[in-house]
A and B are shown apart, each in its own frame.
Chain A
Amino acid sequence: MIEKIHALWPEITLFAAACVVMVVGLSRNVQVRRLCVPVCFIALVAAGVLAWFTTPMSAAAMAHLPQYGKTLAAFVGALLLLLLVGTPDREYEDDVARGRAAFEPIRGTRGEFYAFYLFSITGLMLCAGADDLIWLFLALELTSLPTYIMVAISTGRNRSMEAGVKYFFLGALGAATFLFGFALIYGATGSTKYTAIAEALQAQYQAGPLNAIAVAGVVLAVLGIGFKIAAVPMHFYTADVYQGASAPVSAMLAFVPKAAGFFALLGLLSCVGWFRATEPNTSLPEPIHEVLWFMAVLTMTVGNVLAVMQNSVKRILAYSSIAHSGYMLVGLIAGPGLQKDSFTHNGLAAVLFYLLVYGVSNIGAFAVLACLERRGRDGQMEEADDIADLRGLCSRRPLLGWIMVISSLGLLGLPPLLGFWGKMPLFTAGVSSGDYLLVVILGLNSAIAAFYYLRLVGVTLLEAPDAPGRGVPVQPGPFPTRVLAGVASVAGIIMLSFIPLTNQAQRAGIYNRDPIIKRSAEPAQPAVPKPEV
């Protein structure tokens, strides 16, 4: 047990920082209260460095996943933190600063907000390092539970609470579903350890088809985790929650639970395995493959078609986040491929790289929304949300406008930008797995996505400014760190294409099937690609 502590330095750092932040946020002195953000930022950077240098190789089938996943979580987490600055207690702190209210620690939510954020990132890191179903369950819950509260307290408005409650209830439903799935997987294999599960399932392959309980367990677990990644049929909450929450919190929801869900799916599906010693093909076993296939197709299509019909920018981004999950599911279906050291054949590496691409590109779009506000129906200023709020932003506020344009194009995947390099390996992995129909659907969906992303670009870049009071920069007090987050995101979209990060994703995506094959009775057969469907 004690040796596991060595694998947990980044998580321990974040946990300690969360405890500090929780106390510091309660201080009556405003200068001390403001220390929350620097403490969080230092902790995230330190956790990222520790994750890169101290994380040992995991015993599970994807040995390098923990190192990549934890570093990714800390890196994107630090960017998201820049965006989250100023979200909690905005109106209350304003009142305190103007002397309209006295500060009472019990009313402040700043400490909880940042501490919960760190807890959520801790959960995400634990998901990446999980090698046991109990661990995975706790990590997924640690990722999600704080986000429910963060949504509910992100603004003082009724719609944030509505969003928080919706998110919580559907989240509990999802958690119950994957917990039942985990229970059935344990029942079918007798263990909760990834390595033991993989061994037991491999032994079942040798004897014949998979146990029905194991199949039901994996399917339920995939459906339940589908809530975290906002995949159809568990996607209903997404648009409402993203719209109701404050824009920085929505940006966080688009990355943190999604990444946790994909780490969990990678862990689970690598136990099931894309290779079987008795069969020459490389795909998941039949019912699980079919469930994931339909999930991917429906998630892409529903997300993109509904995004086309929206007028709220947050809802467009919410539905597009559903669609992006669908794209990534294609990588999971394609599996690790037959060439071990090839990035373009490895769907798992493509998924891991796409998480980085999506995490970085998404922050820019939400940062622009977080920097703008408009006069709402009740006369109060509220966050910019309608697509009309962006009209002519490039001429009014060139910096914000161009952040919006480039991050939209990046999310769309226009060739020189990062989004293209993220999507291309998904296509090539799909092609090399032989599932051409899925690749065609992926291509069509990318075309539909161009419609609404180009609409965002067109409104921002080409149209004339709208009536005054729409989409003006946030008063009182600008949040320079939010603009900084947007600039960093755009810099990432342009620059990261030139840095060979794909090597890291490729290394993290290596799926080690040798230990399983060696144990099987027959020698490993030379595998051939799956014939065309």
Chain B
Amino acid sequence: MTALFTATLAQGELPNVMSGVTLYHFLFTSAAMFVIGLIGFLTRRNLIIMFLCTELMFQAAGIALIAFSRFWMNHTGETFVIFVLTVAAAEAAMALALVVLLFRRKETLDSSAWREMKG
């Protein structure tokens, strides 16, 4: 069983449990996540939800990277994802700091409450 498992892995295919799943399924999932994140970012007004939408877009790219990494049988994409996760964590820290700062000033998370500048 283990030998079969490593043999299929070496050929770049996923184990039998997911035998019907191809690169395109992963790409479709990733593109769908990216678009959902984009639509959410453009339509929602709550700052935290908007931030989560950008995170969704980052992770969509992560899924695409891992799927491609498996497709090409090299580790570049996986390495890329580790760095992306690190940067996403740094961005999350900054986003929360900024949102807390804003909440202390106006007691709301609604982005439309902040419209001092126009033109």
Chain A residues with CB under 8 Å of chain B are 133-134, 137-138, 141, 145, 148-149, 152, 158-159, 161-166, 168-169, 172-173, 175-177, 179-180, 182-184, 186-187, 190-192, 239-240, 243-244, 309-310, 312, 315
CB distance from B78 to the nearest CB of A (A): 11
Give the A-B contact count at a CB cut-off of 8 A: 122
Some 25 contacts from A to B, beta carbons below 8 A apart, are A134-B83, A141-B87, A145-B87, A148-B98, A152-B98, A152-B101, A158-B105, A158-B114, A159-B116, A161-B105, A163-B117, A165-B102, A168-B95, A169-B54, A173-B41, A173-B57, A176-B58, A179-B58, A180-B34, A182-B61, A182-B80, A183-B61, A186-B76, A187-B67, A312-B119
Residue B110, interface by CB 8 Å: no
Which 7 pairs, one residue from A and one from B, show the smallest C-beta to C-beta distance? A176-B57, A187-B68, A172-B54, A183-B64, A190-B72, A179-B61, A180-B61
Chain A residue at minimal CB-CB distance from B106: A158
Chain A residue at minimal CB-CB distance from B114: A162
| In contact, A145 and B114 (Cβ under 8 angstroms) | no
Tell me the residues in window 103-118 of chain B with beta carbons closer than 8 Å to chain A beta carbons.
105, 111, 114-117
Tell me the residues in window 1-48 of chain B with beta carbons closer than 8 Å to chain A beta carbons.
27, 30, 34, 37-38, 41, 47
Chain B residue at minimal CB-CB distance from A191: B76
One of B72, B87, B94 near A138 (C-beta < 8 A): B87
| In contact, B117 and A138 (Cβ under 8 angstroms) | no
| In contact, A184 and B64 (Cβ under 8 angstroms) | yes
Please, which residues of chain A bring their CB within 8 A of the CB of B115? 162
Please, which residues of chain B bring their CB within 8 A of the CB of A164? 98
| In contact, A177 and B95 (Cβ under 8 angstroms) | no
| In contact, B50 and A169 (Cβ under 8 angstroms) | yes
Please, which residues of chain B bring their CB within 8 A of the CB of A137? 80, 83-84, 87
Please, which residues of chain B bring their CB within 8 A of the CB of A179? 57-58, 61, 84
Please, which residues of chain A bring their CB within 8 A of the CB of B105? 158, 161
Please, which residues of chain A bring their CB within 8 A of the CB of B58? 175-176, 179
Q: Mark B48-80, 1 if CB is under 8 A from A, else 0.
A: 001100100110111011011001101011011
| Contact A165:B47 (CB < 8 A) given known A176-B58, A190-B72 | yes
A98 to B38, CA, bound (A): 50
Please, which residues of chain A bring their CB within 8 A of the CB of B76? 134, 186, 191-192
Q: Given contacts A137-B83, A172-B51, A179-B61, list 18 more A-B pairs with CB under 8 A.
A: A134-B79, A138-B87, A141-B91, A145-B87, A158-B114, A162-B117, A163-B117, A164-B98, A165-B102, A175-B87, A175-B91, A177-B57, A179-B84, A187-B27, A191-B74, A239-B117, A244-B117, A309-B119
